[in-house]
Copies of this chain bind each other. A is one copy, B any other.
Amino acid sequence: MPYNDPMQLPGVYAPLPTPFDDDDRLDVDRLKRSYEQFAAGPLAGFVVLGSNGEAALMDDDESDRAIAAARGVIPRGRPFIVGTGRESTSAAIAAARRAADLGADAVLVRTPGFFKAQMTAEVFVRHYTAVADASPVPVLLYNFTAVTGVNLPVAAVARLATHPNIAGMKESGGDVAQLADLVSSTPPSFQVLAGSASTMYASLCVGVTGAILALAAVVPEACVRLYTLTRQGRHDDSRTLQRELVPLARLLSGHGVAGLKAALKIVGIDAGAPRRPLLPLSEEATAQLRQAVGRVQEVTA
């Protein structure tokens, strides 16, 4: 019976990285230790096996083991969201079912994007409807054009938003007009989550429910504070804090997984190095990152 009360997802979430060991194998111990550190923080919930979780570099067996280990650490009561996007509809369904079996509260399903020219609104609607019909837990749509090369049109989201098992979406792009459109084209119960930290404040202005941000894994307090300030109508303070977050947000966005893992090390969380073919962050870029992290910590101390 998946179709209960609509899931609510206000607040700030972090995509958690997946640690690998020195031989590039999934490192479950390191995963547990680092996730305990994340769980001790103030975030509203967590996403595992998202883009920043290097899910694209992992096979199904590794994914299952990572989910199971994470579930053991992430406390109940805070949404535990699992990335289960796949290129084929059948694989996406199977992944959602496995994640639900392993304790996911919801699944975050990235658009397929390999066959770009064929990914019409109609194809997206069919794909997501099939996945949502089959998934034991609520589905979140996931649009990440910079990575997939396709855009989930607002009109398709508007149609999908009425499905009782589709709870919301993550929009990773920083196009604030598109976010505003998504909010105004979907019912209030549909949870629009922003994915771009550089435009978090503007996204909240135009009505998103919350945000899923790599930045929030690194400086969770600052992100939560920005969320709270905006909710309290303290716009000048929000704008000021947003500006302070932009440089670090840009570095994280630009460096991807390697940047996230390096930044976590800077704040005392060991999530290892990225999996090949990804390279670890250069020393020069790490120094720059350290400075940006320090600046945020100083401002929000």
Residues of A within 8 A of B (CB): 24, 51, 56-60, 87-91, 112, 114-119, 122-124, 126-127, 130, 146-147, 149, 174-177, 180-181, 184, 196, 198-199, 201-202, 205-207, 233, 235, 239, 242-243, 246, 254-258, 275-279
Contacts and interface: CB of A to CB of B under 8 A. Distances in A.
A57 B202 contact: no
Nearest to A184: B243
Contacts of A127: 276-277
Given A88-B58, A243-B180, A126 B205 contact: no
A115 B56 contact: yes
Contacts of A199: 176-177, 180
A194 to B, nearest CB: 12
Nearest to A253: B117
A177 B199 CA distance: 6
Contacts of A233: 233, 235
The list of the 9 closest CB pairs from A to B, nearest first, reads A57-B88, A89-B276, A127-B277, A56-B114, A176-B176, A205-B205, A176-B202, A177-B198, A202-B202
Contacts of A116: 146-147
Contacts of A180: 198-199, 202, 242-243, 246
Contact of A205 (B117, B122, B124, B201): B201
A246 B91 contact: no
Contacts of A115: 56, 147, 256-257, 278
A258 B149 CA distance: 20
B279 A57 contact: no
A88 B202 contact: no
Contact of A239 (B118, B124, B207): B207
